[in-house]
Chain A
Amino acid sequence: MAELTLDSITKVFDDDGEDVVAVDDVSVDIDDGEFLVLVGPSGCGKSTTLRMIAGIETVTEGEMRLDEHAITDREPSDRNVAMVFQSYALYPHMTVAGNMRFGLEESTEMSSDAIQETVEDAAAMLGIEELLERKPEDLSGGQQQRVALGRAIVRDPDVFLMDEPLSNLDASLRAQMRAELQELQTDLGVTTVYVTHDQTEAMTMGDRIAVLNDGQLQQVGTPLECYHEPANRFVAGFIGEPSMNFVETTVEGDRLVADGFEYPLDGATAEAVREGQGVTLGIRPENVELVDAAETDHDIEATVTVVEPMGNENNVHFDLSGESDDLIAVTGGFDPVDHGDDIVVRFPEDAVHLFDSRTGETLRNRRLDVEQPAEPRV
């Protein structure tokens, strides 16, 4: 059993007399065997949090517990965690086998035969048996990354920590390794904390994701929860590619008033907002519909600025009635839309999210009973 609990973890760095709060009161409960992804933009504190779990960074305030045992003050070598670094951090003067043996030699009493067997088993799992006698400098990036993984796996730790392990790989290899890592983690069943800035990795790999920004935890939930029910504007804009469209509006009566258009709200939605409130209207590109002519009062005139053909889809960038907002709609790949076209876009009310302009807090998320998102079946 390896339940990891982060309880109000805070990290303050002293930068030339100035206090820099890198991690601010972060609390997450991670279940045994769960794959939790810490995701956020650069500098949000996710790597610092991971390093605190590893013990290579001290904790300023708060507590960390592994299976109810406090590990906040324990040495890294006593925590039974294994880490895969972004730069792999292999020992250049040792062979692959030597790299994988080192941890077992240093932290266990296993015989060299037992160690050899464990190393060979892990190598087989990762498909690197032929590389055991080679040195890291002779290996490709993908092979080095597998060795780094192997080094972590042989330790049989309570927790895997991974710090952006796929960032240094090229795109196709990254996609392949994503799938392999997921499979590996499911097979081994080890609690894993995975740090990345790539929201695609977060969405596809995590059982749950924890979104961080500026050291503060924005939301913890399953990928689909964060996608369809974001807790605030930051999460809504960070998760999803291409990212959600935002338009600034003000509430007047039963409608939202923006610079170029007005958007009427139905009764249930109107209850979530106050008169005069600044409200950010959010709608995901794939929910923006391109219609032939304005029929409903949720249709708005727009001009196409850029069309990005993706093959199966087109990313259509458009401006609303004179404003330049860079909003995006995703349409079918065969739609004959072109730069400069005048179009009509529809923002269906069911798909609209509303956020407070000042605080970013979600006032209303899209209705899900219309389109039930399929929960992933494992």
Chain B
Amino acid sequence: MSQRTKTDIGRHLSNASRGRIALYGVLGLVAVFYLTPLESGVTTALKSTEAVGETAPFAPPGPNGFSLDAMRTAWNTLAPTLVNSVILAVPATILSATLGSMAAYGLTGVDWKGQVAVVLLFVAAIFIPYQAVLVPLSRFWAIVDIQQYGRFGELGELIITHTAYGIPICTILFRSYYQNLSTEMLEAARLDGASTFSIYRNIVLPLSVPMFAVTLIYQFTQIWNDFLFALILTNTQSAYVVTRGLNALTGGIVQSFNTQMAGALIAAFPTLLVYIFFGDRFAKGVAAEA
């Protein structure tokens, strides 16, 4: 490298900052573009009904337009549905992740014929769209009538449906993770006298924590945000989950945007919390797969 003179350095710096400015400018515009809907939602939720009609969506509410009424109404409507969503999402998430982990172990750590066919079935199952199974699903639940048990019956239907629907993706995620486990370690466990289940419980399961973080976060988000299954399978209002409750905030002759926005924010809040607290682990777990 030849000696750089002061003028060279100066030129280099001013070039760099021009490029930098352009880069930051573009990034800023992109950020604004992505954040405007969210910002509009927040501002609208905090406006009174008059202010909604008078101000632009992304403009913050003025001192007159500020009102917490929308939030209060939304909260009162959605509070019971939040409880239902938790009753649905927590067991379904844990069950689908755990069963997926066991299935994946059976497909990797245990030797038996026909594994490839079973794996293909699981992979195919991931790609089945919700919409395709709606009719058979509702007919199934008409036959298996636990709806008669009211709120918990209907929530039970949702839990079972979501668990079943979530197992394939969890299985495939765990399977790729387990394929990277040392085969010799599992062989050593076998020579140590451990049964297949004991190997799973004592060795595979403790080592699966990173992948559990990934599947639990993923499944929680999917199940919490699902609207379609909740729409089809729940009929009694006491069993409504937060997505249906949110839907109930719409409709009517007068569209109250501020209440709807408030409801959307409240509905999205738990998943936001999950990402804030566990997003790091999620990213690490996914990166470890790459």
Instruction: Say yes or no: A91-B193 contact (C-beta < 8 A), given A85-B184, A102-B202, A106-B198.
Output: no
Q: Is the CB of A91 within 8 A of B189?
A: yes
- Chain A residue with the shortest CB-CB distance to B188: A89
Report the Cα distance A90→B190, complex, angstroms.
13
Partner of B190, one of A76, A85, A87, A155: A76
Cross-chain contact A83 with B191 (CB below 8 angstroms): yes
Per the bound structure, the CA–CA distance linking A236 and B88 in Å amounts to 73
Specify the chain B residue showing the minimal Cβ separation from A81: B191
Structural contact, A89 and B194, CB atoms closer than 8 A: no
CA distance A87 to B185 in the complex (A): 9
Bound together, the chains give a CA A86 to CA B182 distance in angstroms of: 12
B193 touches A89 (CB 8 A): no
Q: Are B193 and A106 in contact (CB under 8 A)?
A: yes
CB distance from B201 to the nearest CB of A (A): 11
Q: How far, in whole Å, are A92 and B207 apart by their CA atoms in the complex?
A: 8
In the complex, chain A residues 70-114 whose Cβ is within 8 Å of any chain B Cβ: 76-77, 81-83, 85-87, 89-93, 102-103, 106-108
The 8 Å CB contact of A107, one of B187, B192, B207, is B192
Interface centre among B185, B192, B194 (most CB of A within 10 A): B192
Residue of A with least CB distance to B199: A106
**How far apart are the CA atoms of A79 and B153 in the complex, in Å?**
51
| Contact across chains for B192 and A93 when beta carbons are under 8 A apart | no
In the bound assembly, the distance between CA atoms of A86 and B25 in angstroms comes to: 56
Task: Give the docked Cα–Cα distance between A93 and B189 (Å).
Answer: 13
Residue of A nearest to B185 (CB): A89
B188 contacts A85, C-beta separation under 8 Å: yes
| Most chain A beta-carbon neighbours within 10 Å: one of B184, B191, B198, B207 | B191
Q: Looking at the assembled complex, report how far the CB atom of B108 sits from the nearest CB atom of chain A, in whole angstroms.
A: 16
Q: Contact between A106 and B192 (Cβ–Cβ < 8 Å)?
A: yes
The A-contacting residues of B in range 171-187, CB under 8 angstroms, are 182, 184-185, 187
B-side contacts of A54, CB under 8 Å:
187, 191
Chain B residue numbers with a CB within 8 Å of A81 are 191
By the criterion of a CB under 8 Å from any partner CB, how many residues of chain A are at the interface? Answer: 23
B136 / chain A contacts, CB cutoff of 8 Å:
none
Q: For residue A77, which residues in chain B have a CB less than 8 angstroms away from its CB?
A: 190-195
- Residue contact B185 to A90, C-beta cutoff 8 Å: yes
Most chain A CB within a 10 A radius of its CB, from B182, B195, B198: B182
Alpha-carbon separation in the docked complex, A87 to B182 (Å): 9
Taken together as a complex, chains A and B put the C-alpha atoms of A82 and B202 apart, in Å, by 19
- Residues on the A chain within 8 Å of B195, using CB: 77, 106
- Contact A76/B191 with A92-B207, A102-B202 known, Cβ cut-off 8 Å: yes
Chain B residues, Cβ within 8 Å of A93: 203, 206-207
Chain A nearest CB from B188 CB (Å) reads 4
Bound CA–CA A127/B182 (angstroms): 27
The smallest beta-carbon distance between A51 and chain B, in angstroms, is 8
CB <8 Å contact, B194 and A91: no
B residues 7-48 touching A (CB-CB < 8 Å):
none
A56 at the interface (CB under 8 A from B): yes
Point out the residue from B185, B193, B206 that lies within 8 Å of A103, measured CB to CB. B193
Complexed CA–CA distance, A25 and B187 (Å): 25
- In angstroms, Cα B198 to Cα A367, docked, is 59
Q: A103-B193, A107-B193 are in contact. Are A83 and B206 (CB under 8 A)?
A: no
Decide if A82 touches B191 in the complex (CB within 8 Å).
yes
Report how far A83 CA is from B189 CA in the complex, Å.
10
| B181: min CB distance to chain A, Å | 10
CA distance A91 to B191 in the complex (A): 13
For A86, the chain B residues whose CB sits under 8 A away are 184
Chain A residues lying within 8 Å of B185, measured Cβ to Cβ, are: 89-92
Which chain B residues lie closer than 8 Å to A85 at the CB level?
184, 187-188
- CB 8 Å contact bits of A113-152 with B (1 = contact, 0 = none): 0000000000000000000000000000000000000010
Smallest CB gap from B207: residue in A: A93
CB proximity of B183 to chain A, nearest CB, Å: 9
B194 and A102 form a contact (CB under 8 A): yes
Tell me the smallest distance from the CB of A262 to a CB of chain B, in Å: 55
Question: Interface readout for A44-72 with B: 1 if CB under 8 Å, 0 if not?
Answer: 00000000001110000000000000000
| Residues of chain A lying within 8 A (CB to CB) of residue B191 | 54-56, 76-77, 81-83, 103
- Tell me whether B184 and A155 are in contact (CB under 8 A): no
Report B200 CB to chain A, min CB distance, Å: 13
Listed A/B pairs (21) with beta-carbon separation below 8 Å: A54-B187, A76-B187, A77-B193, A77-B194, A85-B184, A85-B187, A87-B182, A87-B184, A89-B182, A89-B187, A89-B188, A90-B188, A91-B189, A92-B207, A102-B189, A102-B202, A103-B191, A103-B193, A106-B194, A106-B195, A107-B194
Inter-chain pairs besides A77-B194, A83-B191, A86-B184, 7 sampled, C-beta below 8 Å: A76-B191, A77-B192, A77-B195, A89-B185, A91-B188, A106-B193, A106-B198
10 smallest A-B Cβ distances: which pairs? A107-B193, A103-B192, A89-B184, A77-B193, A106-B193, A89-B188, A106-B194, A89-B185, A93-B206, A85-B184
